[in-house]
Chains A and B, each alone.
Chain A
Amino acid sequence: MPTLTPRRARRFLPRPALACAAVLAVGVALIPLVYLGIRVGQAGWGRIADELFTARTGDLAGRSVALAGVVTAACTVLGVAAAFLVTRTDLPARRVFGVLAALPLAVPSYVAAFAWVSLAQGFEGFWAAALVLTLVSYPYVYLPVAAALVGVDPAQEEVARSLGRGPWQTAVGVTLRQVRPAVAAGALLVALYVLSDFGAVSILRVDVFTRAVFTAINLGFDRTGALVLATVLVALSALVLLAEQLSRRRAARYARLGGGAPRPPTRLRLGRLRWPAVLGLAGVLGAALGVPAVSLVRWFGEGVSRPGSLGELADAAGNSLGVALLGTVLTVVLALPVGLLSARVPGLLAVALDRLAYLSHALPGLVIGLSLVFFGINVAYPLYQSVWLLALAYAALFLPLAVAAVSAAAAQAPPGLEEVARSLGRRRAYVLRTVTLPLAAPGIGAGAALVFLTCMKELPATLLLRPTGMNTLATGLWTHTSVAAYAAAAPYAALLVLIAAMPTWWLSARTGVLTRTGG
């Protein structure tokens, strides 16, 4: 059989259907942008100019970009270092570290920030926020990089070693270069997340853009002004996306070309660096997990308020699980066509859709929430204040997380198998169901886990869109902290972190750091 050229290979996927589904999916992620466009259009140029062309806007944008830059750089260093240590060295207790290193993702930024403030007097400002945001978001880099380091073909490293390169030279010059796409994907999510975060920056008092958006609404009761300001966040995320796209072009691809039995990579001996490495990693985990834990225990111990009843807590946990699951399913279903399209039919449309899916990712949850209120009222009224619209909001918020996972997983699954199935006369949909999806399933599952735990932590959009009377763990936490009933809030926070930790655990387990074979 002659080799299939990429152009002919494309025919093996249901292209028009796939493209249509992808366009619809990205349409969901674009609801917030359409809404922004409508409301900002109503504001008129005079108002827009008044809000945007001020020294303060420049100041805020500068600080937002600086914060995103610092945190992204720090997360990249920390995430890559941690991933490398647990997957490629003889670090003591590396399996334990491998799992723990992912868990900070389960801690909501507002909980982490509050924990730090209550432990350290005067802990506030730019660097404080940078530290807290780094501690809660470095797993966005750590997880994909750890998975990539485990999955990468060791052949190139072996070649480098056989040609006389030292182990460290090989690690930096060959191994790390191979996982560059994973690093870039993680860094992109971190940068957009930092731009959109409100919890940590408000508690730690850094004047960044999200804070200005909230100030406009919360103090000025000025929705229009807030939305005009929010457009700047879209512009900033466009810049970030452009930067990532450029870095991608410069990165060569080093995919495993099939063939060759997967085998464990060689592990670096840390030697004298063993214990400093252990201490460093333990320090990071102590700061990221220990501080919130101590703080929650203190909240609980120092106050006498308690949650209404265990039933209320269980009810909130059940609701959290339910809406997060629904949101996850919807998000992943929407992400499938977008991810498959960019993995299997790369081209202008796929790139455009993929980038568009990320574009609203830097908007704060409050703005996304309001946009879905608008959508619910004007387009999908029967769904308004139902769990379905809340799930749709989660999809609009977190589609990029799932898209990244799906396209990475689909890109790894060899198209050759699909071609064989097609050549044997199977229909496209059948091939998709029986070949492509099972091959990509672990990666898609990882994306789903990530979306799930992020849904669990979401607060502002949940407050606006939840069905009337429904409490989740995040809203329960908010209810009690807003009246200073920290002891009553503590069990909500603890349960939230524990439940979110489960998919996180699973995520880190599937990166391969738990497998005994390389130990």
Chain B
Amino acid sequence: MGTPGMRPLLAAALAGLLALGATACGSEQTAQAEPEAGSDKKITVYSGRSESLVKPVLEDFQKASGITVQVRYGDTAQMAAQLQEEGNRSPADVFLAQDAGALGSVAGQGLFAKLPNEVLDKVPAAYRDEDGEWVGVTGRVRTMAYNTDQVPKGDLPESVFELTEPEWKGKVGIAPTNGSFQAFITAMRVEHGDERTEDFLAGLKANDAQIREGNAPIVADVNSGMLASGLVNHYYVYELAKEKGTTVDALKAKNHFFPNGDIGSLVNVSGVGVLDKADDDPDVRKFVDYLLGKGAQTYFAEQIYEYPLINSVVTAPGLPSLVSLNAPDIDLNDLDDLRTTIEMIKESGLV
């Protein structure tokens, strides 16, 4: 192809792009016309938590407050990446996330507003950001799911470290590519040091730990007897019971909570952060208050069996109390720590 054709062609391409850019700038000014300062009775929530888990809460809030909630569901980590890409022009007012790491990555970009103290104070210090940029909404506990036919109650371990011993060879399922497993390993490093954690990971590998893609497949396999046990979050047995149309008591898979504050029963949080631009939005504030209010917390406790984080709501029956468990003595949104953990898991050969 001859070169003479190229120059007008490039010019045309550039002109096209400029035209696009111009329309972009033009309509933006009109699009951002807000009806009034303060409340516009509308908020946009980015939810990294599943629709089936949080939709009822959002609907209740909408009914109670008259504020329209536009929700965008997605994967927590991918949504965090999306928020970072959107920066200050994000349509989101609120980010509801499944774990602290994701909230930390958004906070790290300076996208969250600092929450007021009266909001933060509703939740124990261990379950919120040190700088007050996000706050925990619910707690979820690491447990060992076990099959009652294959593991007698008396054989259940006192500590998660026992799982690297010979009697557990080939009997433990883990999901090393799962976020909550990684948080658990990070916490182990903080509490017991990198060396002991590396030994634990190597021990799991040597003990022929059974790898699964996520927590749900582990619990399903434990229930069917394909696996004797597995390290998961506590609420997966409830999800399985719901899917099977039965109660947790009727399942073969049961939760074992490691006693005495063992790191094996670490508490993780799901939480919420408010985007900078919505800092003064009274509707958003109402929403955050609602999530930490009695109604929503009771729903989380009773309907999806997560741990309420405010004092006035009690944990669902059958679950050990939050104070008896190991609260993370660590900054769960410290991403450098998270990266070291991922490296460690990779080096152990488990992924």
Contact = CB atoms under 8 A, between A and B. Distances in A.
Interface of A: 15-16, 19-20, 23-24, 27, 56, 117, 121, 202-203, 205, 207, 215, 217-223, 226, 302-305, 345, 347-350, 366, 370, 373-374, 377, 379-382, 384-385, 460, 463-464, 468-469, 475, 479-480, 482-487
B44 A381 contact: no
Given A222-B339, A382-B27, A23 B9 contact: yes
B281 interface: no
A485 B304 CA distance: 14
Interface string B79-111: 011101111011100000000011011000000
B78 A217 contact: yes
Contacts of B10: 23
B31 interface: yes
Contacts of B339: 220, 222
B278 to A, nearest CB: 15
The 6 closest A-B pairs by CB, nearest first: A304-B245, A221-B105, A349-B1, A484-B216, A347-B1, A218-B77
B75 A220 contact: no
A373 B51 CA distance: 22
B242 A305 contact: yes
B119 interface: no
A464 B23 CA distance: 23
B131 interface: no
B150 interface: no
Contacts of B90: 377
B102 A221 contact: yes
Interface centre among A370, A384, A468, A485 (most CB of B within 10 A): A468
Contacts, number: 156
A370 B82 contact: yes
A219 B342 contact: yes
Contacts of A121: 226
A23 B1 CA distance: 14
Contacts of B12: 20, 23
Contact of A381 (B8, B53, B70, B89): B89
Nearest to B346: A56
A385 B91 contact: yes
B71 A207 contact: no
A463 B78 contact: yes
Contact of B243 (A221, A348, A379, A487): A487
Majority DSSP secondary structure for residues of B touching A:
helix
Nearest to A221: B105
B20 interface: yes
A220 B342 contact: yes
Interface in B36-66: 44, 50-53
B89 A20 contact: no
A219 B177 contact: yes
Nearest to A485: B243
Contacts of B101: 219, 221
A375 B179 CA distance: 29
Nearest to A341: B1
Given A304-B244, A377-B85, A221 B80 contact: yes
Given A382-B24, A479-B73, A484 B9 contact: no
B91 A384 contact: yes
B335 A221 contact: yes
B262 interface: no
B346 A20 contact: no
B71 A468 contact: yes
Contact of B213 (A205, A215, A483): A205
A407 B8 CA distance: 24
Contacts of B53: 483
Nearest to B69: A469
Contacts of A348: 1
B89 A468 contact: no
B182 A382 contact: no
B16 interface: yes
A205 B28 CA distance: 44
Nearest to A113: B213
B5 A19 contact: yes
B192 interface: no
Nearest to B246: A304
A96 B91 CA distance: 50
Given A221-B102, A370-B81, 13 more contacts: A24-B13, A205-B211, A218-B77, A219-B182, A220-B335, A220-B339, A222-B339, A370-B85, A479-B50, A479-B73, A482-B75, A483-B53, A484-B243
